[in-house]
Amino acid sequence: MFKKVLIANRGEVALRIHRACKEMGIQTVAIHSTADEDAMNVRLADEAVCIGPPAPKDSYLNKAAILTAANITGADAIHPGVGFLSENADFAEMVEDHGITFIGPSADHMRVMGDKIEAKETAKKLGIPVVPGSDGGVTTDEEAMEIAKATGFPLIIKAAAGGGGRGMKVANSLAEVPEALSICRTEAKAAFGDDAVYIERYLGNPRHIEVQLIGDGQGGCIHLGERDCSVQRRHQKVIEEAPSPAISDEIRAKIGKTVTDAMKKLGYKSAGTIEFLYEDGEFFFIEMNTRLQVEHPISEMICGVDLVQEQIRVAAGEKLSKTQDDIVLNGHSIECRVTAEHPETFMPSPGLISDYHQPGGLGVRVDSHLYTGYSIPPYYDSLVSKLIVHGVSREECLARLRRALGEYVIGGIETTIPLHQKLIEEPDFIKGDYNVHWLEKLMGLK
Ligand code: ADP
């Protein structure tokens, strides 16, 4: 097992990984920018190294600085967390070339799945159902129009390198295709430095259902059931729950097997998530995330598995500590992503936390780096806390969530807690009757 792990991230996820390491008796190294000197993960880590100024490109994306920090502290592994370099195959390769273990999948698997066109091709070959659309990339207007005719309308043009809900453009008719293609390519080039795009049928009322898996690259792969992440704003998840109110035990077992069979064939090692759109009883692959996800705790809560620890163990060369039969889903879990933003306008609200009181009690988990007197820097993602509740039933879970949101005090800044309080009182949400358009429709955005 590793003696010392460098955590190449910040915020709540850095703290989450620190906690997993400590419970395994592993020393931790925090890296941080000059803006994060007072961060909780930096305070708690065994060692901390400042790797640069606030701008992510100079610090959390600065591969050479991070590797240097690993070298000088003698870390034997690097956990990349979520975002930043977590899906950067070149970084994973660089880390391994320096004799340090990258806690994640192989660089090759990251490359294949990082390109959404290649990912779809691979998924198809592995027997995973995909959204109908173009076979590979689309460049010219003529090509796009041909595929559009075959795909039907509405359709969506998506960036191969897309992520974070960016680089997607819907076209409702043939006449809209050339402009949508041109806008999508320009945006993709600007945001991701790659203008490769592809076409998919635009599903009208899908739910976003994703399957959490973990493989050991030695023939073992298990799934931890699904998460329903359909409550979205701008294609970004706001509330997630597990299991999905729309998925039966039978459907879960079937899609779970499809996913684990595919990943065993691929020889996938580490945690990963296969994201699907689910409509009229059918699953359509949209992408695979080759890393830990923000919403991983809800799967942990219902499965009793610490995904980060399992990820560390398989990275160290161990086999999975559990078989599929060991995974028994227990109760229900919901996560609210609390961001430092105005609950109605979504204006960013960084700054000093004047009071902090987090909820507790049975079935309540708060993954957050906040504390009284901490100042949220303005340079990074607005996610400041994940409130995760667990209950024996969905009903108990909702009652607990209502109670926990009511207790939560984050003073001095605006947060989205009032939005979450409102959403969980919506009759459709209470019934579990929502899809990916639900939130935006409710907010009058669609
Ligand atoms: P990203 O990598 O940017 O998160 P995804 O491909 O995972 O992009 O899609 C994010 C969200 O965009 C989905 O959850 C869904 O709401 C919407 N979306 C993507 N593809 C389609 C599609 N073919 N039809 C309908 N909605 C889609």
Element (H or E) spanning 15, and its range? helix 11-23
Fold exhibited by the domain 207-442: D-amino Acid Aminotransferase; Chain A, domain 1 (3.30.470)
Partners of 232 in the β-ladder: 237
The token duo for 360 is 């507790």
- Ligand 1 binding pocket (C-beta < 6 A) is 131, 156, 162-165, 200-203, 206, 208, 232, 235, 275, 277, 286-287, 436
Taking the centre of ligand 1 as the mean of its atom positions, its distance from the CA of residue 165, in whole angstroms, is: 7
H helical segments located in 137-294: 141-151, 177-192, 249-266
The verdict on whether 291 is a catalytic residue reads yes
Best residue for ligand 1 mutational test, from 209, 286, 436 (most atoms within 8 Å of Cβ):
286
Region 4-103: CATH code: 3.40.50.20
Q: Where in the chain is the domain with CATH 3.30.470.20?
A: 207-442
Ligand 1 geometric centre to CA of 329 (Å): 27
- Closest atom of ligand 1 relative to the 284 alpha carbon: 23
Please identify which residue in the block is written with the tokens 């006449």.
Answer: 175
Q: What is the ipTM of this complex?
A: 0.96
- Determine contact, residues 302/394, Cβ cutoff 8 Å: no
| Ligand 1 centre distance from Cα of residue 2 (Å) | 37
Nearest ligand 1 atom to the CA of 229 is 14
**pLDDT tens track, the chain, 446 positions:** 999 999 999 999 999 999 999 999 999 999 999 999 999 999 999 999 999 999 999 999 999 999 999 999 999 999 999 999 999 999 999 999 999 999 999 999 999 999 999 999 999 999 999 999 999 999 999 999 999 999 999 999 999 998 888 889 999 999 999 999 999 999 999 999 999 999 999 999 999 999 999 999 999 999 999 999 999 999 999 999 999 999 999 999 999 999 999 999 999 999 999 999 999 999 999 999 999 999 999 999 999 999 999 999 999 999 998 999 999 999 999 999 999 999 999 999 999 999 999 999 999 999 999 999 999 999 999 999 999 999 999 999 999 999 999 999 999 999 999 999 999 999 999 999 999 999 999 999 87
User: Which amino acid type is present at position 392?
Assistant: V
CA of 439 to the centre of ligand 1 (A): 15
Ligand 1 site-directed mutation target among 194, 235, 435, most atoms within 8 Å of CB: 235
Q: Where in the chain do CATH 3.40.50.20 domains reside?
A: 4-103
Q: Rounded to 5 degrees, what angle do the CA atoms 40, 388, 346 make?
A: 75
Determine contact, residues 391/400, Cβ cutoff 8 Å: yes
Kindly report, as residue ranges, where domains of CATH 3.30.1490.20 are found in the chain: 132-201
Q: Which CATH architecture has domain 132-201?
A: 2-Layer Sandwich (3.30)
**Locus of tokens 């079937």:** 254
